[in-house]
Amino acid sequence: MQQIEAALQGGITMLQLREKQMNSLDFLAEAKLVKNLSDIYNVPLIINDNLDVACQSDAAGLHIGQDDGSIAVARQKLGDNKILGVSAQTVEQAQAAEAAGADYLGVGAIFTTNTKDDALTLNLETLKAICQAVKIPVVAIGGITAQNIHILLDSGIVGVAVVSAIFAQADITTACQTLLHILEKI
């Protein structure tokens, strides 16, 4: 919780809780604790891949991958007032997700990442093509750091999703502030 609070203090604008190895009951308990904390900072909490936990914790929304269930079913169960994010790696996936009710796309992995073993990297041209093909916001994900984020300039993204770039740093709050400062320039 201390790391999450440090990131919230650093100015993150959205928080995704991802617990791939945790059972649903423990995940729900953790989601409720994290939601209470994120509410203090007025930062939306997005639950990764677990529609039931997203609904039961009253999180701001859900993020699902291409193999994590129907986008239309998730949209229907969440309702129109919750955020639905979908991972996409192709223009076709991006357009289908938008048509099915996604509010934003997570596109990547842009660079090699250690936080998701099965992530395939995309080239910058694909990222740009996805941004141009949809009207919903696109967030780049995967291996993004303060040292390589400048490569995403003029790609069309509205933000980045990072893990190691902040949580692997000695000072999480400062790492967040540094990334935000760089993103403002992009």
DSSP letters, the chain, are -HHHHHHHHTT-S-EEE--SSS-HHHHHHHHHHHHHHHHHTT--EEEES-HHHHHHTT-SEEEE-TTSS-HHHHHHHH-TTSEEEEEESSHHHHHHHHHHT-SEEEEE-SS--SS-TTPPP--HHHHHHHHHH-SS-EEEESS--TTTGGGGTTS--SEEE-SHHHHTSS-HHHHHHHHHHHHHH-
Note if 18 is an active site residue. Answer: yes
Q: What is the pLDDT of residues 37-94, one digit of tens each?
A: 999 999 999 999 999 999 999 999 999 999 999 999 999 999 999 999 999 999 999 9
Note if 155 is an active site residue. Answer: no
Which residue ranges make up each domain of the chain? Answer: 2-185
Note if 75 is an active site residue. Answer: no
Which residue in the list 38, 57, 87, 155 is annotated as catalytic?
87
pLDDT at position 20? 87
Which residue in the list 32, 77, 116, 128 is annotated as catalytic?
116
Which residue in the list 18, 32, 77, 128 is annotated as catalytic?
18
Tell me which of 148 and 120 has the higher pLDDT: 148
Whether the full predicted model's pTM is greater than 0.75, yes or no, is yes
What's the average model confidence in pLDDT over 15-27? Answer: 95
Q: What is the pLDDT of residues 108-125, one digit of tens each?
A: 999 987 665 555 688 999
Per CATH, the homologous superfamily of domain 2-185 is Aldolase class I (3.20.20.70)
